[in-house]
């Protein structure tokens, strides 16, 4: 899963360091006040919890809030706690596949069409909010001073149905290139039960990105759209971004019928690109797809764009490199763990590097330099210097 420190000495120091985590005086604060509860975290930090649950692959707001508090707000550490906890849970059942078109639509943005089928539903979003800091913590609103006698803002009633996807709009006009199913990838690849293997199928890459660290995935996407001149290439368009609440069902062990066991929220995105490169069909568009737990549009957008890039670059050297990056570097838990393991003792391996460097210096200069980082040794007899006269300058030697 990742690197974790093991105690092979220094127990008292490690215990003391861990106790500091629970000491309200460390680091010093003016007024620690009452401890924050998981319920307060759930009420106040919903976007952060959605990101945490998505990267941990565990959907339970209270458990995520407890992990966040135990980690002191350190998101990678909270992800580590949640995945470690998830690994201890038994798998009682597999859910019935979720149809993204069956659920309650909370937000829907279609960037590619002014008047798509169904509404443009802004939902709860800071996208259009002025980025002005308010000391009281409330969200600053756009200035809008309506006259007292002005008519209320217009509203419209929409039918209670899931609107047509924008890719369906393109498909109905024979403008969408189809992506046939891969016979070598019939079932979703579960990275919680199976190791990463290359080359990876589409489901494995989507799974890796769904669990990936949001910032890392955004960075990878941004690098992929930069041209050789350093400017970004806006050849892709967001066909649709949705935030949906849906129920989860499992097959009842007695009746064999689907049974509702709860609900979750997810964000999905479809990215479309015009096939206008050399050798492509300019009469078609191609679509990439992303779906992540919770409300996390940055991650869903990056995921759908990278899915599209991986498909278009398939069977090329660049596509192979991209696949390796998606599978091996987007998991924040693994990459953070490798970085943090550098804080663990490495004096044995570094001593060998130091020895090689000193040997190379001896070859260059013709004489050996005195060791400056020698490992401490147990106390012994006092070293007595003796002078040995040989050809050339006299040299100091130590005799124990």
pLDDT of the residue at 118: 80
CA–CA separation, 291 and 238 (whole Å) = 14
For 138, phi then psi, to 5°, come to -75, 155
19 token code pair:
């106790």
95 token code pair:
């859910």
Q: What confidence tens digit (pLDDT) does each residue in 250-305 have?
A: 999 888 889 999 999 999 999 988 887 777 778 888 889 999 999 999 999 999 99
251 token code pair:
């097959």
Looking at every residue in the chain, the average pLDDT score rounds to 79
pLDDT of the residue at 151: 55
Torsion of CA 376, 381, 382, 388, to 10 degrees: -100
pLDDT of the residue at 397: 41
Torsion of CA 236, 240, 241, 245, to 10 degrees: -150
Residues 6+ apart with CB under 8 A from 312: 273, 286, 319
For the chain, give every domain's residue range: 20-86, 104-125+161-179+186-330
Q: Which residue matches tokens 């350093």? A: 230
pLDDT of the residue at 263: 92
pLDDT of the residue at 394: 42
Q: Convert the chain into a string of H (helix), E (strand) and C (coil).
A: CCCCCCCCCCHHHHHHHHHHHCCCCCCCCCCCCCCCCHHHHHHHCHHHHHHHHHHHCCCCHHHHHHHHHHCCCCHHHHHHHHHHHHCCCCCCCCECCCCCCCCEEEEEECCCCCCCCCCCECCCCCCCCCCCCCCCCCCCCCCCCCCCCCCCCCCCCCCCCCCCCHHHHHHHCCCECCCCCCCCCCCCCCCCCCCCCCCCCHHHHHHHHHHCCHHHHHHHHHHHHECCCCCECCCEEEEEEEEEEEEEEEECCCCCCEEEEEEEEEEEEEEEEECCCCCCCCCCEEEEEEEEECCCHHHHHHHHHHHHHHHHCCCCHHHHHHHHHHHHCCCHHHHHHHHHHHHCCCHHHHHHHHHHHHHHHHHHHCCCCCCCCCCCCCCCCCCEEEEECCCCCCEEEEEC
pLDDT of the residue at 7: 53
pLDDT of the residue at 370: 62
pLDDT of the residue at 298: 92
Query: What global pTM score does this model have?
Result: 0.77
Is the preceding omega at residue 27 within 30 degrees of 0, hence cis? yes
Q: What confidence tens digit (pLDDT) does each residue in 19-60 have?
A: 777 666 555 556 666 788 899 999 989 999 999 999 999 999
- Residues paired with 241 in a beta bridge: 109, 269
pLDDT of the residue at 229: 61
Q: In what order do the strands lie in the sheet with 258-274?
A: 104-109, 236-251, 258-274, 285-293
Low-confidence residues in the chain, pLDDT < 70: 1-9, 22-33, 137-160, 226-234, 368-400
């Amino acid at each position: 899963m990742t690197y974790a420190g093991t105690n092979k000495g220094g127990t008292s120091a490690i215990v003391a360091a861990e106790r500091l985590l629970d000491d309200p005086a460390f680091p010093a604060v003016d007024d620690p006040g009452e401890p924050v509860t998981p319920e307060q975290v759930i009420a106040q930090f919903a976007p952060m919890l959605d990101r945490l649950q998505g990267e941990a692959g565990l959907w339970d707001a209270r458990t995520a809030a407890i992990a966040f508090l135990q980690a002191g707000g350190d998101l990678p550490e909270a992800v580590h706690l949640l995945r470690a906890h998830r690994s201890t849970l038994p798998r009682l059942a597999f859910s019935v596949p979720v149809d993204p078109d069956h659920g309650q639509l909370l937000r829907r943005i279609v960037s590619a069409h002014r008047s798509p089928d169904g509404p443009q539903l802004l939902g709860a979003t800071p996208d259009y909010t002025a980025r002005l800091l308010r000391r009281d913590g409330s969200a600053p609103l756009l200035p809008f001073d309506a006259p007292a006698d002005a008519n209320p803002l217009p509203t419209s009633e929409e039918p209670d149905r899931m609107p047509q996807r924008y890719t369906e709009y393109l498909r109905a006009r024979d403008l969408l290139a189809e992506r046939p199913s891969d016979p070598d990838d019939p079932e979703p690849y579960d990275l919680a039960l199976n190791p990463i293997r290359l080359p990876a199928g589409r489901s494995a890459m989507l799974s890796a990105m769904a669990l990936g660290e949001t910032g890392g995935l955004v960075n990878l996407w941004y690098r992929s759209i930069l041209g050789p001149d350093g400017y970004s290439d806006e050849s892709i368009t967001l066909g649709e971004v949705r935030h949906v609440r849906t129920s989860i069902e499992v097959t009842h062990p007695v009746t064999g019928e689907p049974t509702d066991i709860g609900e979750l929220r997810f964000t999905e995105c479809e990215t479309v690109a015009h096939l206008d490169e050399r050798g492509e069909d300019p009469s078609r568009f191609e679509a990439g797809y992303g779906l992540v737990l919770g409300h996390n549009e940055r991650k869903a957008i990056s995921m759908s764009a990278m899915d599209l890039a991986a498909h278009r670059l398939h069977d090329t050297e660049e596509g192979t490199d991209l696949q390796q990056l998606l599978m091996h570097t987007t998991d924040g838990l693994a990459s953070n763990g490798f970085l943090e393991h550098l804080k663990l003792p490495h004096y044995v391996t570094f001593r060998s590097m130091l020895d090689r460097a000193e040997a190379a210096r001896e070859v260059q200069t013709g004489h050996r330099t005195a060791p400056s980082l020698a490992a401490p040794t147990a106390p012994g007899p006092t070293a007595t210097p003796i002078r040995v006269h040989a050809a050339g300058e006299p040299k100091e030697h130590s005799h124990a």
